[in-house]
Amino acid sequence: YNSGLLKFRKIGSPSKPEWGFLTPIESMQEIPFDVKRIYYIYGVDENEVRGKHSHKSLHQVLICVHGKVDVRLENFYGNETYTLNDPSVGLYVGPDNWREMSNFQNDAVLLVLASEKYDPNDYIRDYDEFIEHNQKRYGVKK
């Protein structure tokens, strides 16, 4: 599979709940690639849909560090919608996933860890081209 949820550590202090939590993420430990870039998406209107593209070779992990957002992934294996609302959970999104982020809530902040620097040539922004690309790469869906 080229996508799925990751559960990170959530370090707290049971005897001191006011201390809060800390979630550490290290390259090649908690996530399966070296991080070369981070960015975050925020201030998105509830009715807005972001993404609507796939990547040819980029690996990413999406973490909703505040609030809540829905992420729909479509890939060779199927179609799945994940609700991200826990800073200790990451959604691994490998190459060849069409992604759409919607229903941004509560001033959501979506943190993205990426395996490569920004490269516009790695994007497929046309849905039909995405389908064609995946058929060439994985074969026609039965």
Which CB sits closer to ligand TYD, 10 or 122? 122
Minimum distance of ligand TYD from residue 20's CB (angstroms): 29
Minimum distance of ligand TYD from residue 84's CB (angstroms): 14
Minimum distance of ligand TYD from residue 107's CB (angstroms): 17
Q: Give the integer Cα–Cα distance in Å for 61 and 80.
A: 16
Is residue 55 annotated as part of the catalytic site, yes or no?
Answer: no
Name the percent of the chain in helix, strand, coil, to the closest 5.
Answer: 15, 50, 40
* 19 bridge partner residues: none
The site for ligand TYD (CB under 6 A) is made up of 37, 39, 41, 50-51, 53, 118
Q: Give the integer Cα–Cα distance in Å for 132 and 72.
A: 19
Which CB sits closer to ligand TYD, 13 or 83? 83
| 141: its two tokens | 């869906």
Which residues participate in catalysis according to the annotation?
53
